[in-house]
Structure 1
């Protein structure tokens, strides 16, 4: 399974960003359910207001198969970088809402960590981007 967080819009307030994240994740879970329905012994329940519940349902379904689930998360830090770099509305409260202990993003990563400890998620590969080079204007050629 692959999650590409560059596909999630960092625009709007923290609630809009959380909604965008929730919708994106549930779409990924539904795509997974549709693609692998022939090998899953139980169906995956998609909870439109709680992607963590959807993720846990997906893990339950995977555990009923002999297969292992690998998760690839690309640009996991996309939200924080977009907010920090100021491409959109700059706000400390937006950044704090995305990275605080109570944030949906942090809750999601806690669920991923838990899922990789015998709950059906075999391995997790995470890549991010560094905002350090983004604003450099180098004329090398």
Structure 2
């Protein structure tokens, strides 16, 4: 995906979503399974850190110009961020409202493709899910300021 990409994973735990965004995102597949994701430009991730016993450690927010993620058995095997990275892990009780979502996050589950043939289906956004259009300062349609 070019120019603005976002990937969201529903964790199945209420309204908890792992999120990844950036300017350009490329996913690599082998035998129908994703094995690598490359984000080039403004990579941001929000990822729930979970212990092996399913205890949630907290929500990790990472920002970096570039991100590469190796995936094995639907789990992150290796995460590489470069050249400069900032990361903060916040325990869930200390999260402020809105800190659990990346900017421009929208969960439209009914539009999500389930099978390969779904990419060819016609989708219509529900009116309540439509993004707000900026208010025009002038009435002419050919000018938006």
TM-score by length of 2: 0.28
* Greater strand fraction, Structure 1 or Structure 2: 2
TM-score (normalizing by structure 1): 0.28
Which one has the largest radius of gyration?
Answer: 2
Bigger relative contact order, structure 1 or 2 (CA pairs below 8 A, ≥6 apart): 1
Higher helix share: 1
